A and B are shown apart, each in its own frame.
Chain A
Amino acid sequence: MGSLFRSEEMTLCQLFLQSEAAYACVSELGELGLVQFRDLNPDVNAFQRKFVNEVRRCDEMERKLRYLEKEIRRDGIPMLEIPGECPEAPQPREMIDLEATFEKLENELREVNQNAEALKRNYLELTELKHILRKTQVFFDEMADPSREEEQVTLLGEEGLMAGGQALKLGFVAGVILRERIPAFERMLWRACRGNVFLRQAEIDTPLEDPSSSDQVYKSVFIIFFQGDQLKTRVKKICEGFRATLYPCPEAPADRREMAMGVMTRIEDLNTVLGQTQDHRHRVLVAAAKNIKNWFVKVRKIKAIYHTLNLFNLDVTQKCLIAECWVPALDMETIQLALRRGTERSGSSVPPILNRMETLEDPPTYNRTNKFTAAFQHLIYAYGVATYREVNPAPYTIITFPFLFAVMFGDLGHGALMAAFGFWMCYKEKPLQAKKIDSEIWTIFFGGRYIILLMGLFSMYTGLIYNDIFSKSLNIFGSSWRNNYNQSTLMSNKLLQLNPDSEDYIQTPYPFGIDPVWQLAEANKIIFMNAYKMKISIIIGVFHMLFGVCMSLWNHIYFKRRISIYVEFLPQILFLLLLFFYMVLLMFIKWTTYGSTPPYYGSDDINIVKTSAYCAPSILITFINMMLFKTDPPRPPCDDVMYAGQMGIQKFFVIFALLCVPVMLFGKPYFVMKEQKERARQGHQPVEGAAENGNAGGAAPPAPHHDEDITEVFIHQAIHTIEYVLGSVSHTASYLRLWALSLAHAQLAEVAWNMLLRKGLMSTDFQGGIFLYVVFAGWAAISVSILVLMEGLSAFLHTLRLHWVEFQSKFYAGEGYLFQPFSFEVILDSAGTTEE
């Protein structure tokens, strides 16, 4: 059987690799991506493994690369994508080269950065000093008032001089402080020095760069005058506490001027040096940016290989490594080939040995997918990974999923929009894939591009069937309804009906889909559409569920559960057929039996009335009556039944269906019990064909059959039966969501048209065109955001539920675990996304 219908057959293999060849072989297998290695030393912790050193070295290299990458990002240098092919995993000896390169690069970069930082700090200091000199000059200039020659006099005035009784020398400190600290600084100075200091400050207009964090900070220059050493120490302490930087400032104006000159020249020099450092750093980074992606790939590959080698067992002789791996049975040849390539590359003479092993373990589930089926397979996996070799619902989902979606989303216009979007994504697949847009929503849309395209196309089809395009109808083939009212009737009535049982209906239906005349039937359009869509939903639902139950037959046959066919599949399908499929049949009988009889319109003839719409019974009431063994009071001219013998057949069906329930309930436990007794009598020979959990295809030896606890079997079966019986009722009803969502969508589309676009069509002038232009944009926005996106999402979720619950519950266990092969592609992908 093809791999699409169930998961691949897997074999557990033992792999003997020569120590020298192991690296090259594993590298080849990683390129191939078809082998899942098992951890053979799970009780050994990560630090005691054989290749822990190499893994650590790779970690270190990766860290260095990340550092480089960060620096490259900071400078905004574009990193070159790897041209063409991904580089192969390098030879182990190449690792030393790589290490040396990275070491050199890192050191160089660190040194450059350190130098740059020191230079920047220097630069900052000089700039601050420059500002101090400039600003303090202003202070001193103010004080150098021509009327007072000496600073001492100017500051304290006559009284100060008198009070001290001697000439006082005033000291001062100048410095720079963060601007937001100024108020607190000022208050602190005032309080600590009891108002005996004098603070002047001026803001530096241009922001300065903080070398350690490279932030732009605003600072202020201050100068504090004080008297005496005690105050000096106190002031200095406060400055220290506020992280103000103090700079020496000469007292004499001439010295200050000289110093300012010196500072300016030094700043100039520093600028050139800084520029050169920056250039050097840029050169280093540009050179690194060319290769960094390549290096990342190489290092990650090496790391992955050593990580895998760590999972292996060492042979006693230390000459070879032993690995255990799950391998798809069909790919044995390719793997052998890859192993041989690996051996040749490593120059070893001893070929690796790939040995099949027998096992009782459940193999992993591996479904081969391509870009088209992958999205559908993921929808299934999102519910649960299939049990090994179980029927895979994905191939059927490819059609049923878009179809059920379209039943809810049926609108030619909205479907076309969705299909256009999907088509664009499929058409531009390669360029879009290469772009690697990192938005989550986009990734979801792009991953499901084929689903979106199919959903759009199917919606266009159902839109044609419903004859809905943005809530309007297309009259392609010409309506089958005629207006036969005369002029006076038309003039005097607001609402008129067309009777199908008259000449109004030409008695040949509209060739494709719903007749467009219904769009104008304001009074009973919804009633008519509801009856139609509800029936369609139930019909689709019952067929969908029947299909699901049939799938379980395939499972039973494949897993050789013969008893399950008789006591599970048969009663299940009978139950569904006799009750719900019968209801579907009744619908078809109703559709075909009742209606007008062409030439005899409105006739009173009993035979004609009996098949007229008047006598058409309600299917739901009929079904409820059937379940309750009840009959409705007869309506005189009509028959009680839809066909001869209906009552008897219905009773038989219900009783037979109900009899299926105890079979489902007790059949399997009974057989299990019987089999256990038999086994007990015969000793421990396994009974052929009755192995309940028999292994796939009988390839493996029969499992050691644990006698299941019989009460557990009973409980399990009871739950299953109740779930199935109640499920078939509730699931059938659940398919009515197809109708409900489709009704909601149609109504919402109509509201959008009537409330918005119609407003633009209601003017009798030519400026209506401009108005229409504006209104159309609004209507388009509403259509896309609410009708396509939101309604689309809700229809999608309901479809998903219908598949997961209503369809898959009939046959799908989903208890497997996923095949996760050792593959460079996957490793590199996941490493790329986590890091970004």
Chain B
Amino acid sequence: MAFKLCGPKLSLCGLVLSVWGIIQLTLMGVFYYIRAVALLEDLPLESESGHHNMESFIATVEAGYTQNAYNCWIAALLYVITLVVSAHQFWMNNRSSVSM
């Protein structure tokens, strides 16, 4: 019914990668969402001198945390799509090899 895009190895690779990506990126999104301090270094903060008071700095950091949380979940979602595609391809490959 559908066509075959990638071979058995590539689809397996995509499968493994997307499972890993979904787990890690979802978790990272959660950690960003709960403002994990360990991820403070991985925030989009322009320059350190740009903040004149504490409030604006905290606001940027908060915004960055939320933004990154969403970005992580978006990437995780993309990996869900990858997972579906590669699973389908994997299944196609397996089926064709069996029928042969």
Q: Which of A473, A487, A769 contacts B71 (CB 8 A)?
A: A769
Within residues 37 to 89 of chain B, which ones have a CB less than 8 A from any CB in chain A? Answer: 37-44, 48, 53-54, 63-64, 67-68, 70-75, 77-79
- Inter-subunit contact A761/B44 (CB<8 Å): yes
**Distance, CA A773 to CA B26, complexed state (A):** 12
Interface 9-mer from B3-11, B17-25, B90-98: B17-25
- Please name all residues of chain A whose beta carbon is closer than 8 Å to the beta carbon of B63 when the two chains form the complex: 764
Give min CB distance, A761 to chain B, whole Å.
4
> Which single residue of chain A is at the shortest CB-CB distance from B43?
A761
Contacts of A520 in B (CB 8 A): 37-38, 40-41
B40 A772 Cβ-Cβ under 8 A? no
Given A772-B25, A773-B78, A780-B17, does the pair A474, B38 have CB atoms closer than 8 Å?
Answer: yes
| A780→B44 contact, CB < 8 A | no
Contacts of A770 in B (CB 8 A): 74-75, 78
Question: With an 8 A cutoff between CB atoms, is A475 at the interface?
Answer: yes
Q: Is A342 an interface residue (CB 8 A)?
A: no
| A472 CB-CB contact with B under 8 Å | yes
Say whether B70 contacts A490, CB under 8 Å.
Answer: no
Closest to B57 in A: A491
Partner among A417, A764, A766 whose Cβ is within 8 Å of the Cβ of B44: A764
Measured in the bound complex, the distance between the Cα atoms of B38 and A516 in whole Å is 8
A1 contacts B by Cβ under 8 Å:
no
Cα distance, A780 to B77, chains bound together (Å): 17
**Pairwise interchain contact B71-A519, C-beta atoms closer than 8 A:** no
Number of interface residues of B (CB under 8 A): 30
Tell which of A474, A487, A519, A761 touches B68, judged by Cβ atoms closer than 8 Å: A761
B44 x A769 contact (CB < 8 A): no
CB within 8 Å of B: which A474-526 residues: 474-475, 487, 490-491, 494, 516, 519-520
- Chain B binding surface, main DSSP class: helix
A473–B38 alpha-carbon span in the complex (Å): 6
Closest residue to A761 on the B side, CB-wise? B42
**Given A766-B71, A773-B75, A773-B78: A494 touches B48 (CB 8 Å cut-off):** yes
Q: Return the chain A residue nearest B45 by Cβ.
A: A762
B36 touches A475 (CB 8 A): yes
Check B44 against A763 for contact (C-beta < 8 Å).
Answer: yes
Q: Which residues of chain B have C-beta atoms less than 8 A from A765's C-beta?
A: 67
Asked if residues B42 and A490 are in contact (CB atoms below 8 Å), the reply is no
Complex: A474 Cα to B42 Cα, angstroms: 15
**Complex Cα–Cα for A516 and B37 (A):** 9
Residues A490 and B54 in contact, CB atoms below 8 Å apart:
yes
A504 to chain B, nearest CB (A): 15
A275 close to chain B: CB less than 8 A? no
A770 to B44, CA, bound (A): 16
* B43 CB contacts on chain A under 8 angstroms: 761
Q: Is the CB of A772 within 8 A of B38?
A: no
Shortest B60–chain A CB gap in Å is: 9
Chain A min CB distance to B97 (Å): 13
State in angstroms the CA–CA spacing of A763 and B77 once bound together. Answer: 18
| Contact of A777 with B by CB under 8 A | yes
Say yes or no: A772-B72 contact (C-beta < 8 A), given A472-B39, A475-B38, A780-B20.
Answer: yes
Q: Report Cα–Cα, A768/B71, bound state, in Å.
A: 6
B22 shortest CB reach to chain A, Å: 10
Q: Which of B36, B71, B74 has the most CB of A within 10 A?
A: B71
Are the CB atoms of B44 and A472 closer together than 8 Å?
no
Contact A772 B42 (CB under 8 A): no
Q: Say whether B71 contacts A761, CB under 8 Å.
A: yes
| Contact bitstring A776-788, B, C-beta under 8 A = 1, else 0 | 1100100000000
Verify if A290 is at the interface (C-beta below 8 Å from B): no
A769 to chain B, nearest CB (A): 3
Cβ contact within 8 Å between B54 and A491: yes
**CA–CA, A776 and B72, complex, Å:** 10
Report how far A764 CA is from B39 CA in the complex, Å.
Answer: 15
| Closest chain A residue to B77, Cβ basis | A769
Q: Chain A 436-473, CB within 8 Å of chain B: the 1/0 string?
A: 00000000000000000000000000000000000011
Complex CA distance for A475 and B74, rounded to whole angstroms: 25
Q: Given that A487-B54, A761-B43 are contacting pairs, would A776 and B64 also be in contact in the complex, using a CB cutoff of 8 Å?
A: no
A769 to B81, CA, bound (A): 14
The answer on a CB contact under 8 Å between B75 and A769 is yes
Whether A121 sits at the interface, judged by CB under 8 Å, is no
Chain A residue at minimum C-beta to C-beta distance from B72: A772
The answer for the CA separation of A472 and B41 in the assembled complex, in Å, is: 10
**B42 near A773: Cβ-Cβ < 8 Å:** no
Report the separation of the CA atoms of residues A780 and B54 in the bound assembly, to the nearest whole angstrom.
Answer: 36
Bound: A150/B63 CA distance, A: 100
Least Cβ distance of A278 to chain B in Å? 21
Q: Which of B17, B42, B72 contacts A769 (CB 8 A)?
A: B72
Name the distance in Å between B9's Cβ and chain A's nearest Cβ: 13
A378 at the interface (CB under 8 A from B): no
Interface residues of B (CB under 8 A from A): 17, 20-21, 24-25, 36-44, 48, 53-54, 63-64, 67-68, 70-75, 77-79
Q: A487-B54, A494-B48, A764-B44 are in contact. List 10 more A-B contacts (CB 8 A).
A: A472-B38, A475-B38, A491-B53, A520-B41, A758-B41, A768-B71, A769-B74, A769-B78, A770-B74, A776-B75
Can you show 26 pairs from A to B with CB atoms below 8 A apart? A417-B20, A473-B38, A475-B36, A475-B38, A490-B54, A491-B54, A519-B38, A520-B37, A520-B40, A758-B41, A760-B75, A761-B42, A765-B67, A768-B44, A768-B71, A769-B71, A769-B73, A769-B77, A770-B74, A770-B78, A773-B21, A773-B74, A776-B21, A776-B24, A780-B17, A780-B20
